[in-house]
Amino acid sequence: MDIRVKDFDDFKRPSRKPWLILFILLVGGVLALQHYLPGSRGTSEMPRKKTKVEKVEKVNKEKPEQTRKAQPRGLEKSPDSSKKSGSDGRRAIDEGTSLEKQNDLNGARRLYLSALERSTDEKVSREAEERLGLVNIALVMSPREMPEKEEYNVKQSDSIQKIAKRYGTTAELIEKSNSITNPARIRMGDRYRILRGKFSVLVSKSRNDVAVSLDGKFFKRYRCATGKDGSTPEGTFVISYKEKEPVWWKQNKEIPFGHPDNILGTRWMGLKATGTTPDVKSYGIHGTWDDSSIGKPASAGCVRMKNPEVEELFVLLPVGTPVTITH
């Protein structure tokens, strides 16, 4: 057979579909479809919107200093607990002073007590004591309500002395706190507020002061003078008797009240030893005409106080009040 080149030109190849191209297009379409389907795990996943938590974490990593500054105040731990206690006490005093100006003395008293119990700062504690002393006296010496007081209706045949003995307080305090001008003329049905709380006294020879407590809580602190060379006896005592405008006996000689040689001031509260404390004689808490001796070991052994302050204490403390004297 004679085959020539031109014969190939006339040759018609069989008609075929491009399967490879179609396959590639199909795979590409499937991948594109996966890209847009919800929940697809494809590597070309659309960037999702960052949550608030993720944004905060990113900021914390990138800007640690700013994050620390943004923390709420009060959550960070104080490096010095004593400073925190001091600031807490200072805040309580400021809040108490504000309540005091609003005439809420019981509220102020609670805050001052809180400041005194919580503060480790000596200056804050001293101020809390001063504020407490003033507020406590104002409450006790007036008809104001107070947790340690109780309302009492005068009964037939009552007297101020009988009521005072029943409550373990002083007649002077009942009269003072209820503005009773004539104790002999109280009438049945009269209503008074009577202090039922109990006082106790702590005398410090090293500090030369007298700390008074009411039901175990700080009430007021007074400065005093104690004995030279530690001559004030230490131990536990009770107030055994009380005397206004006392006579002083020196070497069996009577020196009347008001005489220049009478050093006892305006009030005397005699002390009697209790428990294992050795018996003592002629020791007590009394006033003085010489205020320059206060705060020093200057007496012959007794506890001296300024006259106005021993008079205040005289009103508060009944016979039988426990007194502890320490070094």
CATH number at residue 180: 3.10.350.10
In a domain, 278, yes or no: yes
| pLDDT value for 87 | 85
**Cα–Cα distance, 208 to 297 (Å, whole number):** 7
Would the pLDDT of 51 be above 70? no
The answer on pLDDT for 32 being more than 70 is no
pLDDT reported for residue 25: 64
Q: What does the alpha-carbon distance between residue 273 and residue 221 come to, in Å, rounded to a whole number?
A: 23
Tell me which DSSP letter residue 225 carries: B
Could you tell me if 206 and 298 lie in one domain?
Answer: yes
**pLDDT, the chain, mean:** 83
Q: Could you tell me if residue 94 is left (phi over 0), alpha (psi between -120 and 50 degrees) or otherwise beta?
A: alpha
Whether residues 248 and 164 share a domain: the answer is no
Whether residue 158 is contained in a domain is answered as yes
- Residue 239's domain is classified under what CATH number? 2.40.440.10
203, 310: one domain: yes
Kindly state whether residues 207 and 322 are assigned to the same domain. Answer: yes
125 within a domain of the structure (yes/no): yes
pLDDT of 33 strictly over 90: no
pLDDT at 289: 95
In a domain, 291, yes or no: yes
Q: What is the reported pLDDT for 36?
A: 52
Same structural domain, 93 and 205: no
Q: Tell me, what's the pLDDT at 73?
A: 34
| Residue of 300 and 58 predicted with greater confidence | 300
Q: Does residue 163 share a domain with residue 189?
A: yes
The number of folded domains in the chain is 3
Residue 239 CA to residue 108 CA, distance in Å, equals 31
Please name the residues in contact with 171: beta carbons below 8 A apart, sequence gap of 6 or more. 160, 161, 164, 183
Q: Say if residue 189 is in the same domain as residue 231.
A: no
Task: Write out the residue range of the structural domain in which residue 153 sits.
Answer: 149-195
Residues 203, 187 share a domain = no
Residue 42 belongs to a domain: no
241 and 221 within one domain: yes
Residues 132 and 217 in one domain: no
For 198-243, write each residue's pLDDT tens digit: 999 999 999 999 999 999 999 999 999 999 999 999 999 999 999 9
Residue 20 has pLDDT above 70, yes or no: no
d(CA 97, CA 91): 10
| Least confident residue range of 31-40, 266-275, 294-303, 307-316 | 31-40
User: Would you say residue 79 lies in a domain?
Assistant: no
Q: Is 322 domain-assigned?
A: yes
Q: In this structure, what DSSP letter does residue 170 have?
A: -
Quote the pLDDT of residue 251.
Answer: 81
Looking at the structure, tell me whether residues 316 and 210 fall in a common domain.
yes
- The pLDDT value recorded for residue 106 is 98
Same domain, 160 and 279: no
Least confident of 79-93, 244-258, 269-283: 79-93
Q: Is 3 among the domain residues?
A: no
Claim: this prediction has a pTM higher than 0.85 = no
The DSSP element (H or E) to which 305 belongs, if any, is: strand 303-306
**Mean pLDDT, to the nearest integer, of 271-293?**
96
Mean pLDDT over residues 107-127, rounded? 95
Mean pLDDT of 29-54: 48
Averaged pLDDT, 140-150: 97
